[in-house]
Amino acid sequence: MFSYRHAFHAGNHADVLKHLVLVATLQHLLQKPAALMVVDTHAGTGLYRLDDDYSATSGEADEGILALMKYMAATPPERPATALTDYLDLVRSFNRDGARLRLYPGSPFVTQHFLRQEARDKLKLFELHPTDSQALVAHVAQLKAGRQVSVARQDGFESLRALLPPPSRRGLVLIDPSYEIKSDYPKVADCLQDSLERFGTGCYAIWYPIIPRPEAHGLPRRLKTLAQQAKRPWLHATLAIGQREEGVQARMPDEARRRPGLTASGMFLVNPPHTLKPVLAEALPQVLAALGRGRGQGFELESGN
């Protein structure tokens, strides 16, 4: 437990998919004037350096946000997808002082960027890792967001119950565990089932890894069944960057070859904004053009009512 540190993975292709979906979802939900409560059950540290040892060791951001930025600068699509431009502008806004990205915003910072003080939107963050929760508290303090943002070193699955339904009856829940332990998979499904009973109209966004493991394979199917049983609309988006070409693989350092890393992940949403599917249908081909590495690359978008 707790060997996972998101700093190794910050800004990788999975973060690109997750945070792109988060930006597009928030932009839609915040068009209505009533207060929005956002719960981030697995928050991480909120802000990451892309030039520290964690990031350098993994090199994951190089094949994620940094590759996307490079592609959009060198060979921009004729009509860049609006959601993608908004996401990239957001990331740039944390890097005012230079051409190279040094900071990457995690989900708490992505969300807080959009929240409105005047509407009394709220952000509730949960992070269990002792060091990362301390870092999160310190990073959130820099935001000077006052009571808009709260941080607790508590189990996000457990803590969510007490918050649903939110007083304004408008809420977005991001569930983004590390899946470090197998029990995270059934916990995610149980958490969604319980949450839908408490707050059936809430928007739920769940990230999961696409890896050859039965629990990972079964999770989106289980989530789809839960949405259907609750008679709620759902959206499933996946992004696979594929395998590196063999020549490229052979030239890589031993460590990187031994640990080929995650190549695909998915976002499953219940009660997604009705605008999200067309927004992603425009953005994901451009993301894939930037991040796709070869065999197995692709994206899928599926939805139901």
The catalytic residues are: 176
Q: Considering only residues 60, 63, 121, 127, which one is a binding residue for ligand SAM as defined by CB under 6 A?
A: 127
Q: What does the chain come to in residues?
A: 305
Q: Does 177 bind ligand SAM (CB under 6 A)?
A: yes
43 contacts ligand SAM (rule: CB under 6 A):
yes
Rg for the chain (alpha carbons), in Å? Answer: 18
Residue 271's nearest CA partner among 225, 223, 305, 237 is 305
Residue 60 or 176: which CB sits closer to ligand SAM? Answer: 176
Q: Is the dihedral of CA 134, 115, 202, 274 positive or negative?
A: negative
**Residue 107, interface with ligand SAM (CB under 6 A)?**
yes
Footprint of ligand SAM on 12-31 (CB under 6 A): 15, 18
Residue choice 6, 122, 170, 293 for contact with ligand SAM (CB under 6 A):
6
Quick check: 65 and 11 in contact, CB under 8 A?
Answer: yes
Query: Is 155 a binder of ligand SAM (CB under 6 A)?
Result: yes
Contact range with ligand SAM by CB under 6 A, out of 50-58, 126-134, 164-172, 240-248: 126-134
State which H helix or E strand residue 266 sits in: strand 264-270
Contact yes or no for 273/240 (Cβ under 8 A): no
What's the min distance (Å) between Cβ of 159 and ligand SAM?
A: 8
Please give the helix or strand (H or E) that residue 276 lies within, else none: helix 276-291
Which positions touch ligand SAM (CB under 6 A)? 4, 6, 15, 18, 40, 42-44, 106-107, 126-129, 132, 155-157, 176-178
